Amino acid sequence: MSFITAKHPMPEQDPRERIKNFKEVALGYDQETAVAEANRCLQCKGAPCQKGCPVGVEIPAFIKLIKEGDFIAAGNKIKERNNLPAVCGRVCPQENQCEKQCVLGKRGEPVGIGRLERFAADFGAAFDRTAQHLSRQLTGKKVAVIGSGPAGLTAAGDLAKLGYRVTVFEALHVPGGVLAYGIPEFRLPKDIVKREVDYLKSLGVEIKTNMIIGKTFTIDELFTDGFQAIFVATGAGLPYFMNIPGENLNGVFSANEFLTRTNLMKAYMFPEYHTPVHIGAKVAVIGAGNVAMDSARTALRLGAQKVTVVYRRSEKEMPARLEEIKHAQEEGVEFLFLTSPVKLIGDKEGWVKNMQCIRYELGEPDASGRRKPVAVPGSEFNVEVDTVIMAIGQGPNPLITQTTDGLMSNARGNIIVDERGQTTRLGVFAGGDIVTGAATVILAMGAGKQAAISIDQYLRDK
């Protein structure tokens, strides 16, 4: 038996054209290509790919349905375990999850599981006109979900399917959490996010926006209002800074602010939307994760003439997805490795104009497993900039833990939970980035799915 060792290529916008717009870069498989890619699947009996999926999607089963041309059934098969398939098909790091376990990957490239998931989800949204009838027995019990990111939406959908009355409280004016404010349109179109949210509403999930728990209501007030269990899924939206001189200059952004103003407030659609964001000609992005790649590629599309990613380790240690690094390189983003800023310098009007940097060399591996960067004495040099975007990570907002008696957090501010997602406050569960720190969409979804199971068991026992 012969095997096709490489994935079928994903059609993409030309880099020279896509840096001029915010349309989605990856264009998706057509039916013929999807079937051809599905035919690469060996349908392994042990389904190792499925074991690599944090939400347990029956991967061989949905791929078999694509192979047979039953695309709508494939999408429905995914939705049995995954409430956000079109999102996951676009932003899930399959190379570190399901595809990493694919047998074909030992001799070539694994099956394009994420690409097939996206295809099935999009096909179903475009052509499935069958009303989804949810067979369930309503329990009459109310569950509150705080945060409408991937963890919160996943838990809400699963709990609704189990018969609970679920209300999601979202601090921003649009649901979706990081899917709405953090990931750019060219990677995850916002109409896709809205479509997934609308699906959850069709399951009976109620979503209330502009609700800041800890301000609008407290956890205690939610219990008083009749909610019998609460799931905290507020993510990690508090940006980190380097605490170097000059970070308060004009033209210095956190990646969180920069991307929120671009994605959620539609800065890229000015003047149709009256919320522009300042972007200079020479932009430096500090950090090398997916958020840094998103920031750099967004800056190019907003008109920056030169965008440089500054990273204190080497290219090998970059935590961003290889696909995102490749796209950034194709679009003209430059990289300055083994370098980190130590001071930002401004002009008389208070705008950043220069960045003093120092060079690094790599030492022994640190706790993360990556080689620790060690500063080279006397290697300081300056880089001209007029915009700096700090993309070095983010942590949890402490508002809920500060306003909830008995809810404990660790030294980093992450809520402490047991293996079931139960916090130190009875009836309060937590999961996703608020527990683990900033991670991936799919890991947050896995936490949301586990929380739904635990909350269901808790309420049954109660």
| Integer Cα distance of 266 and 272 in angstroms | 9
The three-point CA angle 410-416-417 to 5° equals: 165
Q: Does residue 366 share a domain with residue 258?
A: yes
The reply to whether 8 falls in a domain is no
The reply to whether 1 falls in a domain is no
Q: Does residue 304 share a domain with residue 407?
A: no
Q: How many domains does the chain have?
A: 3
pLDDT at 136 over 90: no
Q: Environment class of residue 425 by beta-carbon count within 10 Å: exposed (0-12), middle (13-18) or buried (19+)? A: buried
Residue 167: how many other CB atoms lie within 10 Å? 19
What does the pLDDT look like over 247-295, one tens digit per residue? 999 999 999 999 999 999 999 998 998 989 999 999 999 999 999 999 9
The reply to whether 23 falls in a domain is yes
Q: Does residue 367 share a domain with residue 244?
A: yes
Q: What CATH number is attached to the domain comprising 192? A: 3.50.50.60
Helices (H), 27-137: 31-38, 48-51, 59-67, 71-79, 85-91, 113-127
Q: Whole-model pTM?
A: 0.93
Domain boundary among 390, 410, 436: 390
Please name the residues in contact with 61: beta carbons below 8 A apart, sequence gap of 6 or more: 77
Summary mean pLDDT of the chain = 94
Q: Does residue 300 share a domain with residue 424?
A: no
8 A C-beta contact, residue 321 and residue 336: no
Of 242, 257, 252, 239, give the one whose Cα is nearest residue 345.
Answer: 252
What does the pLDDT look like over 18-35, one tens digit per residue? 999 999 999 999 999 999
What does the pLDDT look like over 384-433, one tens digit per residue? 999 999 999 999 999 999 999 999 999 999 999 999 999 999 999 999 99
The reply to whether 101 falls in a domain is yes
Q: Does residue 408 share a domain with residue 272?
A: no
Domain boundary among 363, 390, 417: 390
pLDDT at 438: 87
Q: Does residue 334 share a domain with residue 221?
A: no
Amino acid type, 267: A
SS3 percent helix, strand, coil of the chain, rounded to 5, is 35, 20, 45
pLDDT at 129 over 70: no
| Integer Cα distance of 351 and 81 in angstroms | 50
The reply to whether 137 falls in a domain is no
Residue 340 lies in domain: 239-390
Residue 243: how many other CB atoms lie within 10 Å? 6
Q: Does residue 272 share a domain with residue 203?
A: no
The three-point CA angle 327-291-396 to 5° equals: 165
Q: Does residue 269 share a domain with residue 190?
A: no
What does the pLDDT look like over 295-320, one tens digit per residue? 999 999 999 999 999 999 999 999 99
Q: Does residue 303 share a domain with residue 444?
A: no
Predicted confidence band at 131 (pLDDT cuts at 50, 70, 90)?
low
Q: Does residue 72 share a domain with residue 45?
A: yes
The reply to whether 7 falls in a domain is no
Task: Name the β-bridge partners of 166.
Answer: 143
The reply to whether 232 falls in a domain is yes
Q: Does residue 377 share a domain with residue 404?
A: no
Q: Does residue 369 share a domain with residue 317?
A: yes
Of 289, 342, 332, 278, give the one whose Cα is nearest residue 308.
Answer: 332
DSSP 341: E
The reply to whether 6 falls in a domain is no
Of 286, 287, 277, give the one whose Cα is nearest residue 250.
Answer: 277
Q: What CATH number is attached to the domain comprising 43? A: 1.10.1060.10
Domain boundary among 339, 365, 390: 390
